[in-house]
Structure 1
Amino acid sequence: MNLTDRDKITLAKSFTELAIENNLITPCADPVKTANEVTAFFNTIIDTIEGNTDNQ
């Protein structure tokens, strides 16, 4: 499947929003740490879509 960069970002954004809504990303007392958790999740989705993981 060939996705454009825009499609990859849209897909990762949707997954990240769902993860936040379903408490799959734990909020931290420090908002910077929470932002880092969200960013790490988003980047993991992008990496997985692009096949940049060892799990494939």
Structure 2
Amino acid sequence: MPYTTEEGGRLNNFAREPKVYQAEPPTEGQKRTYIIIGIAGIALVGGLISVAFLVS
């Protein structure tokens, strides 16, 4: 653990920093999956709103 000593002899414990990397753009398969999940989410929310409207 990376400890540092401050004035007065107190120890400070700092978290380790994660490695930095450049993000990669999504592949065609990931883009397709995002679109399908988005459409399913919109359909779910639309269905819930219509059920709430019909019940009330």
TM-score (norm 2): 0.39
Q: Decide which structure has the larger Cα Rg and report it.
A: 2
- Give 1 or 2: higher helix fraction: 1
- Identify the structure with bigger relative contact order (alpha carbons < 8 Å, sequence gap 6+): 1
TM-score (norm 1): 0.39
- Give 1 or 2: higher strand fraction: 2
